[in-house]
Structure 1
Amino acid sequence: MNRKYSYFTITFFGLIFLNFNIVAQQNYTLKDVIEIAKTQSPAYKRAETILENRYWQYRVFKSNYVPQLALSGTIPSFDNSVKPVEQPDGSTEFRPVFISNSNVSLNLEQKIGLTGGTIFVSSSLNRFDDFTRGFNQYGGDPLSIGFRQPLFSFNPLKWDKKIEPLRYEESKREYVEEFEQISKDVAARFFNLLTAQISLEIAKKNLGNNDTIYKIAQGRYRLGKIPENELLQLELSLMNSRQSVAQANLDLETTQLALKAYLGLKNNEELNLIIPDEIPVFPIDPDLALQEALNNRQEAIGFKRRLLEANKEVDRAQGETGLNMNLFGSFGLTNQAEQLPTIYQTPDDQQRVELGFTIPIVDWGRQKSRVKTAQANYQLVQYTIEQEKVNFEQEVYTQVRTLEMLRDQVAITQKADDISQRRYNIAKNRYLIGKISITDLSIALTEKDQAKRDYISSLGNFWQAYYNLRQLTLYDFENNTRLIK
């Protein structure tokens, strides 16, 4: 009975230990770690926060074109002091003042984007108290309708209505580009860790092979079949292999910490990466890539926005340096009374019209210089954007060609890796039977290790170029879909 109990106990804890190992070391593909980065990494959270910030900035812009209702006032403005009072004969007497003023107003305003003016509806109420004489009075405008309109002036509302929607659209495209940048960054760290894992595997295998060869060589040396120099060389190779294993373990730990930090993982789980050797095969039309880049990238929208902003500054310089006039007008009802309700009974009409102007007379060329500076800057922006467009198109074409070249390079290095591995196995067997020298075996070992690293490196270059092309075009060529919504 006890043996049976012990058997089940061992089996039970054995299964728990096995499951623990499975959980403690997960297998991850490149797509797995990219998905993790796009849902919980600090880079993802940063991109989300920037997009939210840009959204609220856009909401602030939109609010400029809808009615604004505001309540303002002063309750109270108290004054108990001695003030100079001018007398009818022109003299001044200082008299004590013990008064209070209170006011409140309700204003509804609507800005007009086309003209840059403002129309408003308001209602205001004022109260005056003279505590020395025990007197109080109410006054105000129960209803007032009016407008404020600058003439011949710069109108920022007109330009903001053209620029801000482009800026917000840029931010949405930038958000998608940030996700592809995350994919590129993850791919770089993924292959750094994968290279470290492969290097550790290579180092361990080399250590095992060198240990076996050294032990066989010791027996052959005792029989006088190999010289002491060859045995010492094999012993040195064994020591170097042990050092390589130690260094590979350190590199593995460092690169794994870097990837986990980027992903936002804080557990002690070991990341076992799977080689992404299934290369997607899909045709890439360079003209289609360029067209999608021009349609989707934030830079394409940025070109338009920057030209508008430069043109806006020209308009600002022209509007702020010439004749400026401001027209104000209002009409409505006004009244005054000693009791509050009375102010709203039989009020009088109220009209106000005001036209102000500013005409520069002598400014020693200041206005002309401002306008010419803005115009020169506009031309500079034009030339800069034209050059950036050329560079933009060249970058897209180059990336398409690079991806096609890297796809071929992966196939070549994969074949070279297979050949070098088989060549090393043959060289090792031939050395063990004394057919080749230790030098030939060392060369085969070095070429085998380098071929494996070249293959992993070419894979890393391909996948980074793959995600770079997606970022440049915001287009998924594998599935023929746009990445922007």
Structure 2
Amino acid sequence: MRRLSPNFNFLLLCILMLSALLAAGEKIALTLDRAVAIAMQNSYQIRQLKLGIERSREWLKAEQAGLKSKVYMNVKAPEFSALSDYKWDSLVNKDVIVRQNVQRWWMNVAIRQPVILFGYPTNGYLSLNNTLYQYGQLDDSQWYANYYNRYFLKFEQPFFQPNRLKSDLEEAKLSLEENELEFLDDQVELIENISRDYYELFDYSYNDIILERYIRTLEQVREIANCAGQDNGSKSIDCIQIQVELANSIEKKAQNLSDLRLESTRVKQRLRLAESDSLEVIPEIKITEIKVDLKQAIEYGNTLGPRMRLLDINRRKREIDLTNVKGWNAFRMNVEMTYGLEKQDESHKQLWDEFDNSYSVTVNAYVPIWDWGQRKARIAAEEITIRKTELYQEETRSRIESEIKNAYQNLLEYQKRTLSMQENMSMAEEITALSIDQYARGEISLHDLLQTLMRQKQTEENFLEAYLGYRKSIIGLMIDTYYDYENNIALLDKFRSTS
């Protein structure tokens, strides 16, 4: 059998090791900020909202471009007609069938510009036009052609009608702002959801530390009791109690780790991470005493948060709808004026010589007489919609104030509890150390020592509960006010700096 060379074996070993490393996935040290950043990057909802913002920006560009000049051309090339139709013949005083055979080649080029006064679109248009056509007609067996050329200015202005140019531009701006606010709101909602998942992992990870510390302390007590030196048949009651408590604690730790793995799997799915990736949460305790001005917090909730501004946008859109409804089936008038030069000739070469002045004025008006109250009812319906929006604004403002007051009170309570429990935990550690020394000297019983250890463990668990409530209350206040009190920055500015 042929042996493989050492170089080939080394190469094969490197390939196997590389494959194992790739299959192992990435180990992610997860913090709340890291989890939020991953969620922002992988969220389908965030991507959709970003596309919605880009779409609204393009619509706004389109409306803004509509306020500038537009050049276009209409062409009929050709228009043939060979038809018979009834025509009135005044000589014989009756209808006769007349056959027409005509050819028309027609073109109109226009440069059209909306009329804007002092930055305000008037809903009118001014255009520079050139119309040129050839009209040919068959008479018996001979074609007769006639040519026409006209240069003219055209002014069109509607009166007593909703200003569509202004309304469309304003609605495009409002839609863009609305999408940006919805994007901000969705980001904050994502922070709320991810923080809930993150602190579930934090809870399991910190509980693992508590149980690990408790197990090490029990092992230390077992060594002090010298249980290893006892015969199997004559173990003391102390050693049995220690062993039972130690076994129960190890089982609790195993169950906690199992729950941690299940929660990690769920969080990975939510963050859309690979199954081979592993999450590691290092439960770092960070307590910063936060001072909040309640009146300023309420003001932040009304001004920095998107809810009130979204309602303002909705109300303004309803006002635009009301304006459009008022223009429906109402008196309106259109004025159209043209002035220019024209020439008509049988020869194409003569069209640019000796122009004649040409002008026209047209006034069209629509006068509604009776519609059985239809227009009035439409207006009343739109006005009711606006009043509903105003009532909802008042309700939302009151709800925001109530939510911020509750979040503020929660923060004060949990902050006080956390600082107090932190002091209690330090004292419990000192008492535990003293009790272990007393047990080693035989001054207290194992029962008293185990009670002390249980009290320390319970104190640590109470501290964890208070700390998680403290962290969640900070996030709750941030979500209600859209202001990060830990970093003293508005969330909108924070998102802009990180984008």
Is residue 116 of structure 1 aligned with residue 126 of structure 2?
Answer: no
Is residue 107 of structure 1 aligned with residue 103 of structure 2?
Answer: no
How far has the Cα of 1:41 moved from its partner?
Answer: 5.3
Per-residue CA shift, 1:152-199, capped at 9, x if unaligned? Answer: 222344445655545544444444444444433332232233334345
Q: Kindly provide the amino acid, as one letter, of the partner of residue 352 in structure 1.
A: S
Task: Name 2:72's counterpart in structure 1.
Answer: 70
Between the aligned partners of 2:471 and 2:257, the Cα distance in structure 1 is 29
Between the aligned partners of 2:318 and 2:26, the Cα distance in structure 1 is 58
| Match runs of 1:243-254 below 5 Å | 244=255, 247-248=258-259, 250-254=261-265
**Does the aligned pair in 1 maintain the 2:39–2:271 contact within 8 Å?**
no
Normalised to the residue count of structure 1, the TM-score between the two structures is 0.75
How far has the Cα of 1:231 moved from its partner?
Answer: 10
Aligned-residue identity in percent: 15
Task: Name 1:155's counterpart in structure 2.
Answer: 163
How far has the Cα of 1:42 moved from its partner?
Answer: 4.6
Per-residue CA shift, 1:429-457, capped at 9, x if unaligned? Answer: 9999993569x959965x76665555445
- Equivalent residue for 2:61, pick from 53, 59, 62: 59
How far has the Cα of 1:288 moved from its partner?
Answer: 1.8
Q: Kindly provide the amino acid, as one letter, of the partner of residue 466 in structure 1.
A: I
**Does the aligned pair in 2 maintain the 1:396–1:472 contact within 8 Å?**
yes
Between the aligned partners of 1:336 and 1:199, the Cα distance in structure 2 is 97
Q: Kindly provide the amino acid, as one letter, of the partner of residue 250 in structure 1.
A: R
Between the aligned partners of 2:322 and 2:260, the Cα distance in structure 1 is 62
Task: Name 1:403's counterpart in structure 2.
Answer: 411
Per-residue CA shift, 1:311-337, capped at 9, x if unaligned? Answer: 333333333243222222222223334
- Equivalent residue for 1:258, pick from 252, 266, 269: 269
**Does the aligned pair in 1 maintain the 2:268–2:275 contact within 8 Å?**
no
Cα 1:286–1:380 change in 2 (3 A) is same
How far has the Cα of 1:413 moved from its partner?
Answer: 4.6
Normalised to the residue count of structure 2, the TM-score between the two structures is 0.73
Between the aligned partners of 1:140 and 1:450, the Cα distance in structure 2 is 98
Q: Kindly provide the amino acid, as one letter, of the partner of residue 60 in structure 1.
A: A
Task: Name 2:335's counterpart in structure 1.
Answer: 327
How far has the Cα of 1:140 moved from its partner?
Answer: 4.3
Report the secondary structure of 2:324's partner residue: helix
**Does the aligned pair in 1 maintain the 2:113–2:127 contact within 8 Å?**
yes
Task: Name 1:435's counterpart in structure 2.
Answer: 445
Between the aligned partners of 1:342 and 1:220, the Cα distance in structure 2 is 130
Q: Kindly provide the amino acid, as one letter, of the partner of residue 381 in structure 2.
A: T
Is residue 183 of structure 1 aligned with residue 209 of structure 2?
Answer: no
**Does the aligned pair in 1 maintain the 2:49–2:179 contact within 8 Å?**
no
Q: Kindly provide the amino acid, as one letter, of the partner of residue 139 in structure 1.
A: Y
Between the aligned partners of 2:462 and 2:266, the Cα distance in structure 1 is 18
- Equivalent residue for 2:148, pick from 112, 129, 139: 139
**Does the aligned pair in 1 maintain the 2:188–2:479 contact within 8 Å?**
yes
Please report the RMSD computed on the Cα atoms of aligned residues, expressed in angstroms. Answer: 4.7
**Does the aligned pair in 2 maintain the 1:211–1:238 contact within 8 Å?**
no
Task: Name 1:293's counterpart in structure 2.
Answer: 301
Is residue 382 of structure 1 aligned with residue 383 of structure 2?
Answer: no
Task: Name 1:348's counterpart in structure 2.
Answer: 356
Cα 1:299–1:241 change in 2 (3 A) is closer
**Does the aligned pair in 2 maintain the 1:118–1:149 contact within 8 Å?**
yes
| Match runs of 1:231-250 below 5 Å | 237=248, 240-241=251-252, 244=255, 247-248=258-259, 250=261
Q: Kindly provide the amino acid, as one letter, of the partner of residue 105 in structure 1.
A: V
Per-residue CA shift, 1:205-228, capped at 9, x if unaligned? Answer: 778889997x9599687326459x
Report the secondary structure of 1:144's partner residue: strand
- Equivalent residue for 1:125, pick from 132, 140, 151: 132
Cα 1:166–1:401 change in 2 (3 A) is farther
Structure 1's consecutive aligned runs of 4 or more residues displaced over 6 angstroms after TM superposition are: 20-23, 203-213, 217-221, 229-236, 419-434, 447-450
- Equivalent residue for 2:280, pick from 272, 282, 285: 272
How far has the Cα of 1:284 moved from its partner?
Answer: 1.4
Task: Name 2:323's counterpart in structure 1.
Answer: 315
Task: Name 2:85's counterpart in structure 1.
Answer: 84
How far has the Cα of 1:285 moved from its partner?
Answer: 1.0
**Does the aligned pair in 1 maintain the 2:114–2:121 contact within 8 Å?**
no
**Does the aligned pair in 2 maintain the 1:206–1:241 contact within 8 Å?**
no
Q: Can you give the 5+ residue segments of structure 1 that lack an aligned partner in the other structure?
A: 1-8
Between the aligned partners of 1:273 and 1:64, the Cα distance in structure 2 is 54
**Does the aligned pair in 2 maintain the 1:210–1:241 contact within 8 Å?**
no
Cα 1:84–1:399 change in 2 (3 A) is same
Q: Kindly provide the amino acid, as one letter, of the partner of residue 403 in structure 1.
A: L
How far has the Cα of 1:230 moved from its partner?
Answer: 7.5
How far has the Cα of 1:417 moved from its partner?
Answer: 5.5
Which structure has more relative contact order (CA 8 Å, sep 6+)? It is 1
Report the secondary structure of 1:361's partner residue: coil
Report the secondary structure of 1:116's partner residue: strand
Task: Name 2:485's counterpart in structure 1.
Answer: 477
**Does the aligned pair in 2 maintain the 1:28–1:273 contact within 8 Å?**
yes
Q: Kindly provide the amino acid, as one letter, of the partner of residue 368 in structure 1.
A: K
Task: Name 1:6's counterpart in structure 2.
Answer: none
Report the secondary structure of 1:60's partner residue: helix
Between the aligned partners of 1:423 and 1:259, the Cα distance in structure 2 is 43
Cα 1:374–1:238 change in 2 (3 A) is closer
**Does the aligned pair in 2 maintain the 1:207–1:242 contact within 8 Å?**
no
Between the aligned partners of 1:468 and 1:121, the Cα distance in structure 2 is 61
How far has the Cα of 1:382 moved from its partner?
Answer: 2.1
Report the secondary structure of 2:328's partner residue: helix
Between the aligned partners of 1:437 and 1:231, the Cα distance in structure 2 is 10
**Does the aligned pair in 1 maintain the 2:74–2:109 contact within 8 Å?**
yes
Cα 1:284–1:207 change in 2 (3 A) is closer
Task: Name 1:365's counterpart in structure 2.
Answer: 373
Cα 1:126–1:294 change in 2 (3 A) is farther
Q: Kindly provide the amino acid, as one letter, of the partner of residue 247 in structure 1.
A: S
Cα 1:266–1:74 change in 2 (3 A) is farther
Cα 1:73–1:248 change in 2 (3 A) is same
How far has the Cα of 1:135 moved from its partner?
Answer: 5.1
